[in-house]
Amino acid sequence: MKILCVVGARPNFMKIAPLCEEMKKYKEIKPVLVHTGQHYDFALSQVFFQDLKIPKPDYNLNIGSGTHGEQVGRGIIEVEKIIIKEKPELVLVVGDANACLVGALSAAKLHIPVAHVEAGLRSFDMRMPEEINRLLTDHISGLLFVTEPSAIKNLLKEGISKNKIFYVGNVMIDTLKSSKFKVQSSKICEKLGLKPKEYAVLTLHRPENVDDKKNLREIISTLNELQKKIKIIYPCHPRTKKQMERFALLAQIKKMKNLILTQPIGYLEMLNLIENARFILTDSGGIQEESTFLKIPCLTLRENTERPITCEIGTNIVCGTKKQRIIKEADRILAGKAKTGRIPKYWDGKTSRRIIKILRNYGRKK
């Protein structure tokens, strides 16, 4: 059974790693790894392949940056060629980046079955490019692997047959658990002069935050207040830095004495920072999940989340981008009143095992 796996962005790499590892156990499965190259520099791509021991891609399309239309358009042209050449029995896509939609659309047009890992998540915010990717991918996939109960409800409500839906858990947690020893041996805190629980970690990259000058200015003003109360570590995404320069806001960030601005950092170092932080400020979906598993308080700088379980039973609070609310929630954490959470069902490090078992049965039936 030849399975074409399509990835392209940093979050995809954490999700494909345990699946590639599990596939290696079975002689009847032949994975073919395609990297679209949406994230292409060392900090956002190569370091993840090194840290997570992901096999070297069989194909690297080097698509690079560009508009969503450019990335998706070029991706479909190239992935279609690979599918025609390789003739896979199945195309596997993960998450919600453009590479996910590219793989799913290319396969569906050529009548190749699609499996979507992390299906059914919904923010109900169509301004998010990822929401469009999620919806379209799910509706052209034949196997939908979900991380939480809300995803099952969403898919059923959208008319997708329950026979296509499999509640398997979260592959991100497989990667996190298998990396635990390496994460704990990281020296990133020492390198940055940090003491455990005496700093907060910030990530910021969503278009609704970094492409909107008003929102970005409000967030930066909030950070200025927060850094007077606790040190903030900010590994800055290249695109976010570009937008801060465009809006003449980068100088304000650099003036903050208690905010450490760094280049993007690798997966293992980032997890070490998260695990030792007092709390997290983020607009990332994956970090909401990682912080819930690690039981670290998380303040999500968005008006919604496609991962509601992280709020319902985890450590996450959706704060929006208004200064007053963010400061209020941060003060509660600093006062020792942080939200405590528990780990969701099937977030146990065995999700990739469950997925590959289902795919093997699917292959036998074919």
Given this model, what pLDDT does residue 356 score?
A: 98
Given pLDDT bands bounded at 50, 70 and 90, which one contains residue 43? very low
Q: What is 181-334's CATH topology?
A: Rossmann fold (3.40.50)
Which residue is it, tokens 């891609």? 57
Question: Within 13 Å, how many C-alpha atoms sit on residue 348's CB side?
Answer: 7
pLDDT tens per residue, range 77-97 = 999 999 999 999 999 999 999
Helices (H), 121-229: 129-139, 149-157, 171-178, 180-184, 188-192, 207-210, 213-226
Contact 38, 29 (CB under 8 A): no
Task: Extract the tokens encoding 317.
Answer: 């609070």
In this predicted structure, the answer to whether residue 40 has a pLDDT above a threshold of 60 is no
State the average pLDDT over residues 306-334.
97
For the question of residue 116 being annotated catalytic, the response is no
Q: Which has the closest alpha carbon to 311: 341, 273, 269? A: 341
State the average pLDDT over residues 89-109.
97
Given this model, what pLDDT does residue 172 score?
A: 96
Q: Determine the CATH number of domain 2-170+347-365.
A: 3.40.50.2000
Exposed/middle/buried for residue 173 (C-beta within 10 Å: 0-12, 13-18, 19+): buried
pLDDT tens per residue, range 233-243 = 999 988 899 99
In this predicted structure, the answer to whether residue 191 has a pLDDT above a threshold of 60 is yes
Run of H or E residues at 268: helix 267-276
Torsion of Cα atoms, 322 then 324 then 326 then 331, to 10°:
180
Percent of the chain with pLDDT over 90: 86
With vertex at residue 171, the alpha carbon angle to CA 320 and CA 87, rounded to the nearest 5 degrees, is 115
Q: Which has the closest alpha carbon to 293: 178, 149, 189, 153? A: 178
- The CA-to-CA distance between both ends of the chain, in Å, stands at 10
pTM of this prediction exceeds 0.85: yes
Given this model, what pLDDT does residue 104 score?
A: 98
Given 39, 111, 205, 237, the catalytic residue: 205
In this predicted structure, the answer to whether residue 41 has a pLDDT above a threshold of 80 is no
Using a CB cutoff of 8 Å and minimum separation of 24, what contacts does 338-341 make? 338/279, 338/297, 339/297, 339/315, 340/295, 340/315, 341/292, 341/295, 341/310, 341/313, 341/314, 341/315, 341/316
Residue 343 DSSP code: P
In this predicted structure, the answer to whether residue 190 has a pLDDT above a threshold of 90 is yes
Domain ranges of the chain: 2-170+347-365, 181-334
* 10 or 217, which is more confident: 217
Contact 223, 321 (CB under 8 A): no
Task: Extract the tokens encoding 276.
Answer: 């030792």
Q: To the nearest whole number, what is the mean pLDDT of the chain?
A: 94
In this predicted structure, the answer to whether residue 42 has a pLDDT above a threshold of 50 is no
The domains spanning 2-170+347-365 and 181-334 adopt the same CATH topology: yes
* N residues, the chain: 366
